[in-house]
Amino acid sequence: MSPRPETLAMIERLIAFDTTSRHSNLELIEYVRNYLADLGVESELVYNEDQSKANLYATLGPDDRRGIALSGHTDVVPVDGQKWTSEPFEARKRNGRLYGRGTSDMKSFIAVCLALAPEFLKGSIRIPLHLAFSYDEEVGCLGVRSLIDRLSSREIKPEACIIGEPTMMKVVRAHKGKLSYRCEVSGLESHSGMAHLGVNAVEAAAEVIAHLKSMARRFRDNGPYDPELSPPYTTVHTGVVQGGTQLNIVPKSCVFDFEFRHLPEDDPTALLREIQDFAAGLLPEMHAVSVRTGFHWVRLSHIPGFDTGEDAEVVQLAKSLTGANTTAKVSFGTEAGLFEQGGMPAVVCGPGSIEQAHKPDEFITLDQVAQCEKFLLRLFRHCWK
């Protein structure tokens, strides 16, 4: 199957905006706003603090009822240091594939929504569709939070959300949550020959990191397990450590970053509490030397997990639109948990493969784009009278 020319043209247009998360996405957003305005559709923009980025929210159809949100992020990951065969911000068609940064993750989904919008508007609409396009997803699902805050306080908000992250058009109804933290350990410097007069921040950090590792082993060996997730248990991992300056100095500071990727039903604050309680147990020994030593915890990011029930309406709907009779769970994070927390149950279902996301020579097959068109056209029929 090959996609419509207007869809391909829209993908090309969107890829050409370099919306790497560190840049503004406003050019793309203004383009989309103007495009929708030409169709008679008004957009609402929700800006970040310094007005350099925005979420876009627009309703296709009547705005006096709830409807279904189609959600996608407009930002992409950097191409820095990656070897691309062609210019990453110019979509190139080659061998049934379309190459370019964001083709899979996830501008093609947004492009299909936009390219088909005129067709949807021609019908007699019973259930409205809402376009919810966010920024800063790739740096911790940051942008969409202000949009969801605004929506969730409204009387009329979408009753469900379809997030078009690349799943090869499979219906994904759950993924893990992720909580990541930085721990800054303050010790006391001294000559290493007089180590008893100092508090070794690197060693204190090492003990806490070792406890994190013991938690990781416990979850691996004792569960709880969800066999549909991979791996089927909560993982704990320390990814960065920095501390000490020289071997003959007892180090006064050490900083490390760690994360929990937890089963959707796990309470991440309980995981954090366990490690903080463990660290608190080290304090008496540290404070005996200096009360100014200790641990400082800084949250880096939190992406809630989500688990929409198999029999939830939006899962049933997505299954009927794709023709699938099964659902899947994935190991990457999305904005789905945030929509769910805002009272909008979500599924993830979009064209392309996560295997291609974030890589050099990212591509999407034209067949996937066409499958996504088919999915949306079926959704339109569901939403028309």
CA distance 191 to 211: 28
Q: Which residue is nearest to Zn ion (CB)?
A: 105
> 105 or 203: whose CB is closer to Zn ion?
105
Active-site residue flag, 226: no
Pick the catalytic residue from 18, 105, 137, 259: 137
**Across the strands, what pairs with 371?**
none
> 170 or 213: whose CB is closer to Zn ion?
170
> 204 or 330: whose CB is closer to Zn ion?
330
Strands (E), 167-263: 172-175, 177-186, 190-191, 235-243, 249-250, 253-262
Window 147-186: contact mask with Zn ion (x via CB under 5 A)? ------------------x---------------------
- Nearest residue to 14 (alpha-carbon basis) of 121, 162, 113, 132: 113
Cβ 143 to Zn ion shortest distance, Å? 12
CB-CB contact of 351 with 383 (8 Å)? no
User: Angle CA(87)–CA(93)–CA(97) in degrees, nearest 5?
Assistant: 110
Window 91-130: contact mask with Zn ion (x via CB under 5 A)? --------------xx------------------------
| Residue 259 touches Zn ion, criterion: CB under 5 A | no
Cβ 34 to Zn ion shortest distance, Å? 24
Pick the catalytic residue from 18, 75, 203, 307: 75
CA distance 158 to 170: 22
> 105 or 361: whose CB is closer to Zn ion?
105
> 3 or 333: whose CB is closer to Zn ion?
333
Amino acid at 222: N
User: Angle CA(12)–CA(335)–CA(230) in degrees, nearest 5?
Assistant: 100
Cβ 106 to Zn ion shortest distance, Å? 5
Cβ 324 to Zn ion shortest distance, Å? 21
> 282 or 336: whose CB is closer to Zn ion?
336
Cβ 341 to Zn ion shortest distance, Å? 19
Helix count and strand count (H, E) for the chain: 10, 18
CA distance 63 to 60: 8
CA distance 341 to 209: 31
3-state DSSP assignment of residue 218: helix
Cα 139 to the center of its chain, rounded Å: 8
Active-site residue flag, 38: no
Cβ 372 to Zn ion shortest distance, Å? 14
Q: What are phi and psi of 346, to 5 degrees?
A: -130, 155
CA distance 146 to 135: 10
> 105 or 226: whose CB is closer to Zn ion?
105
**Across the strands, what pairs with 297?**
183
Cβ 103 to Zn ion shortest distance, Å? 12
CB-CB contact of 74 with 45 (8 Å)? no
Q: How many residues bind Zn ion (CB under 5 A)?
A: 3
CB-CB contact of 383 with 197 (8 Å)? no
CB-CB contact of 190 with 375 (8 Å)? no
User: Footprint of Zn ion on this chain (CB under 5 A)?
Assistant: 105-106, 165
| Residues annotated catalytic, as ranges | 75, 137
